[in-house]
Copies of this chain bind each other. A is one copy, B any other.
């Protein structure tokens, strides 16, 4: 907890739903390494695959590192979606 802020923690589970299990699995496999190697001392991010959904669990000490984690996670998912779209043309 940052010294004077009464904010204890920010936790979230994000469910990103895709059209199919196969689509979710492709995106999951292409981003899981990013999550394992993401350096941030004030928040943890866990990625799990459940059918058509990719679940992103974020646990952050403060709102700034929470926002950074959410933005990174969504950026990685978007990037791999775009690459996937390009390779399917």
Query: Contact residues of A with B, CB < 8 Å?
Result: 4-20, 23, 52, 63, 66-67, 70-71, 74, 77-78, 81, 85
Q: Complex Cα distance A20/B8, Å?
A: 9
Taking the full assembly, how many copies of this chain does it contain? Answer: 2
What distance in Å separates the Cβ of A84 from its nearest Cβ neighbour in chain B? 8
Partner of A7, one of B6, B7, B11, B16: B16
Residue of B nearest to A9 (CB): B17
Secondary structure at the A interface, as helix, strand, loop or mixed, is mixed
Contact B63 A8 (CB under 8 A): no
Known: A9-B17, A12-B13, A67-B71. 10 other contacts (CB 8 A): A6-B18, A6-B23, A7-B16, A8-B17, A11-B15, A11-B17, A14-B66, A16-B63, A67-B74, A70-B70
